Chain A
C-alpha cells in the first residue's frame, strides 16, 4: 500500500471519519442519555445525534449580514478537518499511518484548531452573544491549556521522544499517574461541561460561540465536537494506559476507558453548577498550575 493510500485510509476510515463519526454520535448519545437519567428524565433515543446531524444538513443556512461568507463557512470545515486529522495520527491499534517523528507537536497543534475555529466563528458571526462566548472560550483555553499541554509534554519528556508511538509504549510509572491526573483536570474544561460550561452558558450568552450558525455549517461543527469527544478520550487512553498484547483487545480497553471517562465527566457535570470565568481561571492557574508543577517535578525525579 502506497503512503498516500495509508493516509487517506487513516483520515477517511480508521481511525478517521467513517468510524469516528458514528462513534462520536454514540458517545454524544451516551452523555446525553446519562445526563437525562441522572436528572430523572428519559433521554434521547439511540440515533438522536445522527438524526440531529441529518436534520441540520437539510436545513437552510443563514449567513449573518456583515459576516464574511468565506470565513463563516470555512470555520466548521477547518474544525472538522483538524479533529479528523488529529485522530488519524493517534496510534490506535490498526492505524495504517506510520509514526512520524514529532507527531506529538503536530497533534497538539491540531488539537487547538477546533477551539481556535470556534473562537473565530464567534467573532466572524458578528453577533454580540457569539463574541462574548468566543471571548470566554479564548480566556478559558488560556487557563486549561496549562495542565493539558504540560501533561502531554511531561510524558514526552519522560520517554524522551516527541513521537506518539513512543508515548504509547511508555512503561507505567508514577509519572503516568500524575500526568494522567493533570490531563483529567483539564478535560472537563476542554469539553466545556459543567462546572466549566462557561463559553456555552446558554442562560447567560444565549448559546455558545456558534449562536449564529445554522444548517449544514452548524451540523459540521457539531460533528467535529462529536469527533473531538472520541479524540480526547482515546488520546487519554493511548498516552496514559499501557496497551495490551492484542490489538483488538487494546481497542476495546481504550473504548471502555473512553466511556468511563465520559461517565465520570458527566457525573461531575450533573452534580455541579457553572463557575464564573474568574473562578475557573483561578482554579486552573492555582490547582492546574500546582498539578503541572508536580508533573514536571516528577519527570525530573523518575
Chain B
C-alpha cells in the first residue's frame, strides 16, 4: 500500500529528472568545455604537453594551417591548459559550446584552425605572432611584425648591429642569417 501511494504521488507530481534544455545554473567558477582563440594561439604545444589525459592534439596541414583539436570526452576539466597557455588563447565555458553541439560532429570535439601566413621576407609559411602580444614585445608597427620567427630574430639582431656599427657598406651581412 505504501508503494502504491508513493507511485501514485509520483504520477501526480512533475518529473524529478531534468531535460537537456532545463539544466541548473552553473556557478561562475565552473570549469566546463574549453574555448580556443585561434588568433592568439602560437601552436607552442604547451597545452598538449600539460594535459594529462591527452585531450588536446594538433594536426598540421603543411604550408597551410595547424589545427588545435580538443576532445571533450577525454578532458578532466583540470584547467591546467588554460593556466599554462602563454597567450591566454584557451578559455572556459560553463557548458558545451555551440560549435561542439553541431550536428556534423559527435558534439564532443572542437577544432580551431590557425591559418599559416607567408613571411614577406623569406616566404616561409609560419604561424603569425599574435597582434596583442606584438604590442608588448615592442616590435609592433615595425616591418618585422609579420616576419617568420627566424626573420624576426634576424631583424632584431640586425637592428642591434646597426645601432653599434655605422652602416658603411663595408660590413656584409652576418654569416648564417636568413636570406
Contact A37 B11 (CB under 8 A): yes
**Closest partner residue, chain A, to B5 (CB atom):** A271
- Residues of B contacting A132 in the complex (Cβ-Cβ under 8 angstroms): none
**Closest partner residue, chain A, to B18 (CB atom):** A42
**Closest partner residue, chain B, to A35 (CB atom):** B7
Q: What band does the interface of chain B fall in when counting residues whose beta carbon is under 8 Å from A? A: 10 to 19
The answer for the CA separation of A36 and B8 in the assembled complex, in Å, is 12
**A223-261 interface code vs B (CB 8 A; 1 in, 0 out):** 000000000000000000000000000000000000000
Contact B3 A41 (CB under 8 A): no
Contact B4 A40 (CB under 8 A): no
Tell me the count of chain A residues lying within 8 A, CB to CB, of chain B.
Answer: 12
Is B17 in the interface zone, CB < 8 Å from A?
yes
Smallest CB separation, B17 vs chain A (Å) = 5
Is B15 in the interface zone, CB < 8 Å from A?
yes
Chain A contacts with B in 32-61, Cβ cutoff 8 A: 36-43
- Residues of B contacting A181 in the complex (Cβ-Cβ under 8 angstroms): none
Best-surrounded residue of A40, A42, A43 (most CB of chain B within 10 A): A40
Is A141 in the interface zone, CB < 8 Å from B?
no
A to B contact number (C-beta, < 8 Å): 30
The answer for the CA separation of A42 and B22 in the assembled complex, in Å, is 12
Smallest CB separation, A271 vs chain B (Å) = 4
Smallest CB separation, B85 vs chain A (Å) = 40
Smallest CB separation, A264 vs chain B (Å) = 12
Given contacts A271-B3, A272-B3, contact A38 B15 (CB under 8 A): no
Is A115 in the interface zone, CB < 8 Å from B?
no
Contact A37 B4 (CB under 8 A): no
Contact B16 A267 (CB under 8 A): no
Smallest CB separation, A204 vs chain B (Å) = 21
Pick 19 A–B contacts, CB within 8 A, sort by A: A37-B10, A37-B15, A38-B8, A38-B10, A39-B10, A40-B10, A40-B13, A40-B16, A40-B17, A41-B16, A42-B15, A42-B17, A42-B19, A43-B15, A267-B4, A270-B3, A270-B7, A271-B4, A272-B3
